[in-house]
Structures are given as C-alpha cells and as structure tokens.
Structure 1
C-alpha cells in the first residue's frame, strides 16, 4: 500500500540538532543567548533590512507591530478578507477595527482597488498578506498609503524569500512580520520575526517585546509591555534553517514545476498563478476548481485522503466568521470555497507528486462526468 503523504512536514537535519544541543549545553535556554542575536542578524541580512526582532510567534509579531505604531480603539486597519484569522485577531487585540478588502483573483492577495474604496479618515494601517507565498502588489498599496500618511505592515508569515520586483518581502514597507510555525518555509517550531529599516520603530518594538522594562532601572516599568520573546533554543534551530533557506526555496520551485507537469491547467482548473513582477515562495500548492462549493470540495478532499494524500481547504474568509461577520466579498468568498492546498514540503519526491497528480486528475475527471 502506498504511504501517506502529509500536507507538510519540517526538514530537520544534523545541523539543526547540533546547534540546538549546543544551546542546551550552554545553559542559555530562555530568551538570552548568542543564537538570538545570530538569528536576528541572519534574517535581517536575508530580507535586506537593517533590523530584525525575534518574537514568540507570528501573531504576537503582528500585534507588537500594531501597538508599536500606537493603534487603539477608533483606528481602522485594512486587511484582506481571505487570510488566516491571526491577521484580523491581531488588529482586534489593540482595540482597533479590521476592515476587510476583497482579493485579486490571481495572486489571492488584497486588491488595491478594493483597498482604496475602504480608506477613511480613521485608517491608520494597510496590512497586506503575502498569501500562500505570493507577494501582494506593494507599489499599488504604497501609492494609496503614502500620500495619506497611512502605515503599511506586511503580513509575510507565509512568504519567506518571496520577491516583489526583485526585492524580498519584509523590506518593502515600514515593517514585515514572519512566522516560523512548523509548516513554514523556515521553522523554529513556534516563533516569529519583525523586520524593518526604521530604527525608532525597532527600538520601540524591542522595548515593548520585553515587558517595557526601563533601560535605566531594572524591574521598573512605566508602561504596559508584553512577553513576546523567542527562546535561544528556538533561535538555534532558526540559525541552522537559515543556512538552508536557498535550498528550501529551490526545492519548492522544483516541486511546483513537477505539479504543473502532473496536473494540466485549464479554464476550470488552476494551480498557483505568479505575476511577472513576483517570485513566489510557494509555501502551499494551490488548486482551484471552478464549480466546487464547500461540500464538493470537502468530498474531493475526503477521496484524496482515502487514497493516502493529505490536503487542506483554503482559509475561511474573515467576513464569514461571527466576530468579523459582514456581507461576503465576491472574489474572496468564491476562492474560499473553490480552493484547496496539496502537499508541498522539502523531501517530497517527483514520484510523490506524480502520484498526487494522477489521483487528482482521476478525481477531477469523475467530477467532470457528473
């Protein structure tokens, strides 16, 4: 019987074990240690930013970025309707209101035209998500934000190494925020990173990350801060992963090419689309089938699972959730029901992808006949 193919799995090797054990042996297992500094420096260098700040996870990173800008009740943050819920929750944690924009049907990222229609005098931040590894149209968003004095924060949780017009994400705005959850391009188990070229922003975020402790007087705090620190153990894993990031991205490019050969695209069946100004990180392989609704997609995914192939649905729209519910946005609502993700991780073989493609094509033919 064929082995089960998971949707994702981390690539942890001898180098990761070496550095993590070194961190254990050093005794510096909490939020102080050499690997914190090394990881931050390596990540800033990779993104082309002056500063990087390690945090406990991507969600706390988004929240920290927003509170660093001073957001609170009465403020509005424009986010895409199709994203992971952490994007909206981080806004809500500050007391500000998430305002939902529709998405571009090709990139799945926020549609600048929709964003422009939503700007009000209360808009403080535009927060694009580089969804499934494809960058948002940052120049178009900057053209909306900059003349109005609106900040832009990149939710780059899924897009390590993705490029927009030759520049890596995370350095395209005031701040970028990454996640290092176990299924990401680079993992530390849990963890996140803020990237920025703004020294004042960096210094403020660094202070708030560590309980806003006074630099002049230990254990004195003149404002409320947060415990959003990363451990030295996690950072050691991150340092080793950063040594391999180019190989990770090259592998994902190759896997995507195998998928394109294995599953023919048509007017009704699509894999990831990539704009000519973008280089996707291909965090997830995206399959969209016109005519799928939620029930048909779930049935399709169930048949994949029966054949030993894992998959996952696209994220639910924020507008469909009770705490952010509003009238559905047409493109986001359609994509949320017609899209699913197929396995994508370093270690997936060409034979695996050919097997996945064969099953997908067989099941799609059955769908067409019905």
Structure 2
C-alpha cells in the first residue's frame, strides 16, 4: 500500500540536530539567549534589515506591527480577501476594522487597482500578503503612501525585482510553522528598519518590560511573544541552508509543471511574473472554470487515496468568523477575483522528501478524481 503523502514537511539534517542538541545541553543561564541572538543577527543580515525580532508566530509579528503603528478602534486596515485568517486576525485584536481587498489574478496578491478604491481617511495601514510565495508589484503599492506591513509568512526566498521578500514593509513578518519553507516548529520573525517600531515591539513582546531591565518593572501590559532558544537553534540551522531549501521547493514546483504540460491542461499553477522569483512554498493548482470542480471534494477524495492536500484559502469575507464584519457584504459582491480563484485552487503535496515519482502518482490521482 502506498504511504501517506504529506502536504508539507521540513528538511531536517544533522546540522539542525547538532544545533538543537547543543542548545538543549548548553543553552541555559548565561547562554539562555545564545541562539536567539545568533538567529536574529543572521536573519537581519540575510535580508539587509536593521532589526530582527524573533517571535512565537507570524501572527504575533503582525499584531506587534499594528500596535507599534498606534492602530486601534476607529481605524481601518486593508488586507487581501484571499489569504489565511492569520493575516487579518491581528486587525481584530487591536479593535480596528479589516477592509477586504480583491486580488490581482496575475499575482494572487494586492494591487493598486484593488486597494485604491478602498482607501479612506480611516485607512492606517495595508497588510500585503505574499500568497503562496507570490509577490505583488510593491513599487506601485508603496507609492500609495500608506504604511505597508508585509506578511511574508509564505514567501521566504521569493524576490520582486531582485529584492528579497521581507524588504518591502515598514515591518515584514515571517512564519516558521512546521509546514513552511524553513521551520522552528512554531515561530516567526519581525524585521524593520525603524528605531521606534523596534523599541516598541521589544517592550510589548516581553510583558511590557524594557530590554535589560534587571529590576523587572513593567512599563505597561504587554504580551508573552518570545521565541525559545531551542527554536532559534533550529531556525539558525535552517537559515544557513535557505538557498538549498528554496531551491528544492522550486525543483518540486517544476516537476509538477513539466508533468502537467505533457498532459491535458486541466489546471494552471502558481504565477511567477517577469519581475518575480517565486520560492513556491506550496505548489498550488488552479482548475479550469469549465470543470466545475468542488475544491473540498477534491481534498477529501485525494485524502482517501492517502494524498494529503489543502484547499486554497477561502475568502476572509466568506468566513463565519467575519459574518458580523462591516465590510464583508461589500467584499462578497465586489471581490470577483478572490471568490473565483479561491473556489478553484488546491495546494498539492510539497514536502521536501517528495520524489518525482510521487509527483507523477499525485497528478495521476488528481486526474482520476477530477
């Protein structure tokens, strides 16, 4: 019987095991933050950013970003309708209103055309999501003059006009969840070049305690948003292999692309425009409209064949979580691209241990269930 093919999963080598073992054995007392410091230094150097703050998740990074910008009740934050709820939940955490923008069908990301009509006097930020490794046209978005928080959870290693994902936002936030291109099990990183934002985030992530305060006198009520030294050890080892990891993701994508080009054109794949280098976190198929497929049925039928997949994220405005949102009804009527693309997409297995034979087996079964 064929083994279960996971939808995602990390690449763990002796390097990761050695670093984590060292952190377990020696990363205590005066060495308690040794790997955290090394990981943050290496990460900001990789991106060429001034500051890097290790965190328990990308979500916590987005949350701190909004707080550091002073965003709260009465404010609006524009976010793509087609994304995972982690991109928008922090807007609700701070009491602001999420405004759901449509995506560009050529990039699967925000564009000035979808964002501009939604800007009001209440708009305080744009959360721009690099969906499935795709990248928007950041030079155009930046011209809008509104602070951009870059949600780079899914796009480490991607580039727009030869600039790395994570270099476009006033803050940029990454995820190191176990399914991501590089992992710390759970974890995230916030990067910024802004001194004030860095200082605010450093206080807020440690229960409102100023860094270096040995008297533990909390300045305000903050959050417990710190990464452990063990996680940082794993993250450092992964970061030192980042080119290899991104290269493997791209190899997997092109295995799928090559095989699909030889068969019936039942679907397309993640876009990669002329100015974009896509790290292809998850290879995602977009079935042709005329097939009339139900993405949830595809996922369930492939699971029965021991192939784990995920449905393309559902539009945020369609979720019960946002049924009372003031912008949901407008978004449902206007965001044609989001509703179309989200309805036809399925994330295919993209684990590092996937073989070319696995890809052919997966596509054979996709053809059968379609």
CA 1:288 to 1:167, structure 2 compared with 1: closer, same or farther past 3 Å? same
Q: Greater shift after overlay, 203-212 or 297-306?
A: 297-306
Cα distance in 2 between the residues matched to 1:30 and 1:347:
38
CA RMSD of aligned residues (A): 2.0
Cα distance in 2 between the residues matched to 1:201 and 1:207:
10
Deviations 1:267-321 (A, max 9, x none): 7621111111111110111111123799722222333223322111011111012
How many residue pairs get aligned? The number is 360
In structure 1, the residue matched to 2:76 is: 76
Which of residues 314, 317, 327 in structure 1 aligns to 2:315? 317
In structure 2, the residue matched to 1:350 is: 356
In structure 2, the residue matched to 1:278 is: 276
Q: Greater shift after overlay, 33-42 or 294-303?
A: 294-303
CA 1:343 to 1:70, structure 2 compared with 1: closer, same or farther past 3 Å? same
Deviations 1:55-88 (A, max 9, x none): 1111111101110111110111100001110111
Within 5 Å, give how 1:123-272 maps onto structure 2.
123-144=123-144, 146=145, 150-214=146-210, 218-264=215-261, 269-272=267-270
CA 1:32 to 1:337, structure 2 compared with 1: closer, same or farther past 3 Å? same
Contact 2:126 2:148 in 1 (8 A): yes
In structure 2, the residue matched to 1:367 is: none
Deviations 1:198-228 (A, max 9, x none): 2222122112111221456622122222110
List alignment gaps of at least 5 residues for structure 2: none
CA 1:294 to 1:319, structure 2 compared with 1: closer, same or farther past 3 Å? farther
CA 1:266 to 1:275, structure 2 compared with 1: closer, same or farther past 3 Å? farther
Deviations 1:170-223 (A, max 9, x none): 111211000110000110011100011222221221121112214566221222
Q: Greater shift after overlay, 342-351 or 175-184?
A: 342-351
Contact 1:262 1:358 in 2 (8 A): no
Contact 1:263 1:361 in 2 (8 A): no
Cα distance in 2 between the residues matched to 1:244 and 1:58:
21
Contact 2:77 2:98 in 1 (8 A): yes
Cα distance in 1 between the residues matched to 2:291 and 2:122:
36
Contact 1:179 1:191 in 2 (8 A): yes
In structure 2, the residue matched to 1:117 is: 117
**Could you say what secondary structure the match of 1:340 adopts?**
strand
Residue 266 (structure 1) shift:
7.2
Contact 1:29 1:233 in 2 (8 A): no
Cα distance in 2 between the residues matched to 1:74 and 1:31:
44
Cα distance in 1 between the residues matched to 2:182 and 2:363:
26
1:28 aligns with 2:28: yes
**Could you say what secondary structure the match of 1:176 adopts?**
strand
